[in-house]
Amino acid sequence: MPEISIRPLPLSRCSINTATLGHRSPIGDVIERVARHGFGGIAPWRRDLEGEDHRLIGKHIRDAGLALSGYCRGTYFPGANRSNFEANVADNRRAIDEAAELGAPCFVLVVGSLPEGSKDLNSARAQVAEDLDILLPYAKKAGVGLAVEPLHPMYAGDRSCITSLGEALALCERLDPSREGGIGVAIDVYHVWWDWRLSEDIAAAGPSRRIMAFHVCDWLVPTSDLLLDRGMTADGVIDIKHIRREIEATGYSGFTEVEVFSRRWWSTPEDDVLVACAKGFSSI
């Protein structure tokens, strides 16, 4: 297979997911800091905007010269009973409203898995499909894409019962068989790099226009914590440059979003973290 060419990208094509900075500073300060370092986009988490006016935050982001690459993240879908499930649906509706007020193009969904006391993975998957089916027309009306993010299989017991890009794409096709849009995937290299079908699934996502977000960090060897020891881009073993080539070959032209969950980086001064983000981005 011929090598897909890759071109250098300006830092303006890189977005910073606010989790990378550890949720330490007020969102206004984070916006200004990200803009000052020359990045082109930002993806805030809901926790960073609690008590804030989302419309005003969206205006602040645009006034700072930044664009929104997404809004993170959904409430877990499966519930131990119907009442819990419906409460989760309602909270995700509120989050879609927030994303629309911000002006975010997509709402990233980490769907959850087994409710406490359950071992029924099929039931969890069925609840995820039902919740998405309920939310899709609501999100389309709001103008916000639903970006389903498959997680690494190590999280299948709690964070996500959707554990591969192929499974996420199959769910999108099931809920949107005519490919009218409004639902797609967020591809995070940390969660999918291991998958032997990854190239095939990325290629399949292109014609259906399913790729809504592309997240980067790295897998360290050894890894000391499976949640909070992600590596900065290019510090680990993931061939991020190759994955980027394949994603861009599908026609994806959106942001490359840096999302690093790391105790090490969360204890590093935020400006130094952003310098490292820029260096890592330049290497891919």
223-241: pLDDT as tens digits: 999 999 999 999 999 999 9
4 to 125, 217, 243: CA distances (angstroms) = 35, 21, 10
Asked if residues 215 and 152 have their Cβ atoms less than 8 Å apart, the reply is no
pLDDT digits (tens, 9 = 90+) for 122-146: 999 999 999 999 999 999 999 999 9
Contacts of 56 (CB under 8 A, 6+ apart): none
pLDDT at residue 148 is higher than 50: yes
In a domain, 3, yes or no: no
Q: pTM of the predicted model, to two decimals?
A: 0.96
In a domain, 60, yes or no: yes
Q: Residue 7: its pLDDT value, please?
A: 67
In a domain, 91, yes or no: yes
In a domain, 109, yes or no: yes
Domain hosting 126: range is 11-282
- Give percent above pLDDT 70 in the chain: 98
In a domain, 207, yes or no: yes
> What is residue 63's three-state secondary structure?
helix
Structure token pair of residue 231? 């590596």
How many folded domains does the chain comprise?
Answer: 1
CATH number, position 262: 3.20.20.150
Q: What are phi and psi of 107, to 5 degrees?
A: -115, 115
Residue 2's pLDDT band, with cuts at 50, 70 and 90, is: very low
pLDDT digits (tens, 9 = 90+) for 16-62: 999 999 999 999 999 999 999 999 999 999 999 999 999 999 999 99
In a domain, 161, yes or no: yes
DSSP string, 189-205: HHHHTT-TTHHHHHHHH
In a domain, 4, yes or no: no
* Average pLDDT taken over every residue of the chain: 96
In a domain, 1, yes or no: no
